[in-house]
Structure 1
Amino acid sequence: MTQSASPFLRLGTRGSPLALAQAHEVRARLAKAHRVEPEAIAIEVITTSGDAEQTRPLADIGGKGLFVKEIEQALMDERIDLAVHSAKDMPGQLPDGLVIAACLPREDPRDAFISPRAKTLAGLAQGAVLGTSSPRRQALVRRMRPDLKVVPLRGNVDTRLEKLKQGEVDATLLAVAGLRRLGRPQVVTSILQIDEFLPAVGQGVIAIQTRAATTRIRNLMAAIDDPVTATALSAERAFLAVLDGSCRTPIAGHARLTAAGLSFRGLVARPDGSAAYETVRRGEALDAEAMGRDAGLELKAKAGDQFFVG
Structure 2
Amino acid sequence: MKKLIRIGTRASLLAVTQSTWVKNQIERQHPGTSVELVKIITKGDKILDVPLAKVGGKGLFVKEIEDALLDGRVDLAVHSMKDVPAELPAGLHVAIVPEREVPFDAFISVKCKSLAELPQGAVIGTSSLRRKSQLAALRPDLEIKDLRGNLDTRLKKLDEGVYDAIILAGAGLNRLGMQNRITALFSPEQMLPAIGQGALGIELREADSELLVGLQFLHHADTAAAVTAERAFLLRLEGGCQVPIGGFATVAGDTVNLTGLIAALDGKKVFKEQLAGPVAKATEIGKTLAEKLLAAGGKAVLDEVYAG
TM-score range, shorter chain: over 0.9
Distance 1:232 1:245, change over 3 A: closer
Match of residue 24 from structure 1: 20
Q: Secondary structure at the match of 1:122?
A: helix
Once residues 304 and 15 of structure 1 are traced to their aligned partners in structure 2, the CA distance between those partners, rounded to angstroms, is 36
Q: Secondary structure at the match of 1:178?
A: helix
Matches within 5 A, 1:271-282: 271-282=265-276
Instruction: Find 1:235's aligned residue among 229, 236, 239.
Output: 229
1:306 shift after superposition? 3.0
1:223 shift after superposition? 2.2
1:282 shift after superposition? 1.0
Quick check: 1:110–1:191 contact (8 Å CA) kept in 2? Answer: yes
Match of residue 163 from structure 1: 157
Instruction: Find 2:192's aligned residue among 190, 198, 206.
Output: 198
Once residues 227 and 124 of structure 1 are traced to their aligned partners in structure 2, the CA distance between those partners, rounded to angstroms, is 40
- 1:15 paired with 2:11, answer yes
Quick check: 1:253–1:266 contact (8 Å CA) kept in 2? Answer: yes
Bigger shift: residues 193-202 or 296-305:
296-305
Quick check: 1:249–1:270 contact (8 Å CA) kept in 2? Answer: no
Match of residue 78 from structure 1: 72
Once residues 184 and 63 of structure 1 are traced to their aligned partners in structure 2, the CA distance between those partners, rounded to angstroms, is 31
Matches within 5 A, 1:91-170: 91-170=85-164
Q: Secondary structure at the match of 2:117?
A: coil
Once residues 273 and 299 of structure 1 are traced to their aligned partners in structure 2, the CA distance between those partners, rounded to angstroms, is 16
1:162 shift after superposition? 0.4
TM-score (norm 2): 0.95
Quick check: 1:113–1:191 contact (8 Å CA) kept in 2? Answer: yes
1:86 shift after superposition? 0.3
TM-score (norm 1): 0.94
Quick check: 2:53–2:243 contact (8 Å CA) kept in 1? Answer: no
Bigger shift: residues 239-248 or 59-68:
239-248
1:49 shift after superposition? 0.6
Give the letter for the 1:295 counterpart.
Answer: L
Cα offsets for 1:130-155 (capped at 9, x unmatched): 01001111111000000000010001
Bigger shift: residues 56-65 or 263-272:
56-65
Once residues 304 and 17 of structure 1 are traced to their aligned partners in structure 2, the CA distance between those partners, rounded to angstroms, is 36
1:296 shift after superposition? 1.2
Once residues 211 and 132 of structure 1 are traced to their aligned partners in structure 2, the CA distance between those partners, rounded to angstroms, is 34
Cα offsets for 1:63-122 (capped at 9, x unmatched): 562111100111111111100000001111111221101011100101110011211001
Instruction: Find 1:65's aligned residue among 55, 59, 64.
Output: 59
Paired residues, what number? 304
Give the letter for the 1:11 counterpart.
Answer: I
Q: What is the aligned-residue RMSD (CA, Å)?
A: 1.6
Distance 1:247 1:260, change over 3 A: closer
Once residues 190 and 57 of structure 2 are traced to their aligned partners in structure 1, the CA distance between those partners, rounded to angstroms, is 25
User: Aligned residues: percent identity?
Assistant: 43
Match of residue 46 from structure 1: 40
Once residues 80 and 189 of structure 1 are traced to their aligned partners in structure 2, the CA distance between those partners, rounded to angstroms, is 38
Give the letter for the 2:223 counterpart.
Answer: T
1:34 shift after superposition? 2.2
